[in-house]
Amino acid sequence: MATGVRRAFKYRFYPTDAQAAELSRTFGCVRKVYNLALAVRTQAWARQERVNYHQTSALLTAWKKTEELAYLNEVSCVPLQQVLRHLQTAFTGFFGKRAKYPRFKSRKKSRKSAEYTTSAFRFQGGRLTLAKMAEPLEIVWSRPLPEGASPSTVTVSKDAAGRWYVSLLCEDPRLQPLPATDAAVGVDVGLDHLLTLSTGEKVSNPRHERRDRARLATAQRQLARTAKGDGANRAKARRKVAKVYARITDRRRDHLHQLTTRLVRDNQTIVIEDLAVRNMLKNGRLARAISDAAWSEFRSMLEYKARWYGRAVIAVDRWFPSSKRCSACGTLQDTMPLHVREWTCGCGTTHDRDVNAAKNILAVGLTATVCGAGVRPQRSTPGGQSAMKQKTPRREP
């Protein structure tokens, strides 16, 4: 098979009672090993010492020999080793100042997942059998794997809504650069319209969370009325809340996938703003709407799909005055209040605020590329300034 890009294919599956029990035990052991190793490394860090993966792997062998942790031998050893590698990666990011210090995994709130490498699963004839299991998983193959694909890693997970998923990491030779094109587009994100393109096209904001807000509120009230603890009623109410959130997330992700795929296929260069979304979420009035718009997820999808298909995504400085500059003559307005959605420049050009911003974003992005300037903007926020991008005057209910 021709070499391609490594890509994860995620599918829903329905385990038998025995498989569900085995996977639940594995999830618990994975969480236990992660927390034990993190505690050891945290204690060493307090003594100004470092513990690496190989040392925690040796500790895992010793833990299995103790009476208290003998149950770790009942599950496959591969997911336990893999979680130690993940912890090592987390500490590498921390020491490199790219991530925060790793946190302990909660039994109720942490993601339930286990990763298997090739020695811990068998994939033949479209049937996947994991270690410690006698029967293959009943997978719903919603889309075909690449022809002749052989997974290198399998990750099994269970979300808060009780749905089981399996993700197969394979090489996909179909992901090749698309034919080059001269098309380029600037993208201005917002709340009234999710996207405004430099071509003048506006993509409406579906507001997925607001559409299900009443249903979500009802489920949350029912959860609040249940007694706290590990009771069955509370667990059932918690799953109802999770199912509403899952419905919102699924619809949002599907919509973003459609948008980003279209933008990447139609344009060679896509120019966006480097918005500090985390800082913008501190705005109490708009935080809910900004989270629902999922600007960070939109950018992430654009970037990895552009790498797949040989496209370019350029992020311009968030402090560039895209809304106040005339895209026709370049005149910079002194002020541009939020309620002004259309304005006329001194040169006689009438602008739609968002379309004008998208045109300016495209122009500065292409200029940075031609001039060789750094198109990857600084992510640090200048001291004393707010990172809030002026988007909409309306207050979200």
Active site residues: 188, 273, 354
Contacts for 153 with CB less than 8 Å, ≥ 6 apart: 115, 116, 117, 118, 168, 169
Whether residue 194 contacts residue 203, with contact meaning beta carbons closer than 8 Å, is answered with yes
Q: Read off the tokens for 360.
A: 């300016």
Determine the straight-line distance between the first and last CA of the chain, rounded to whole angstroms: 53
Question: How far apart are the C-alpha atoms of 25 and 234, rounded to whole Å?
Answer: 22
3 state SS of 182: coil
Whether residue 10 contacts residue 165, with contact meaning beta carbons closer than 8 Å, is answered with yes
Question: How far apart are the C-alpha atoms of 386 and 255, rounded to whole Å?
Answer: 30
Whether residue 158 contacts residue 164, with contact meaning beta carbons closer than 8 Å, is answered with yes
Whether residue 108 contacts residue 238, with contact meaning beta carbons closer than 8 Å, is answered with no
H/E run at residue 154: strand 153-158
Length of the chain: 397
Q: What is the DSSP letter of 74?
A: G
Phi first, then psi, for residue 343 (nearest 5°) are -150, 160
Dihedral sign computed on CA atoms, order 222, 224, 227, 228: positive
3 state SS of 282: coil
Residue 32: count of CB within 10 angstroms of its CB: 18
Question: How far apart are the C-alpha atoms of 387 and 364, rounded to whole Å?
Answer: 19
Q: Which of 204, 201, 199 is nearest to 327 (CA)?
A: 199
Cα dihedral 265, 266, 269, 275 in deg (nearest 10):
-80
Q: Which of 151, 149, 186, 181 is nearest to 166 (CA)?
A: 151
Whether residue 98 contacts residue 106, with contact meaning beta carbons closer than 8 Å, is answered with no
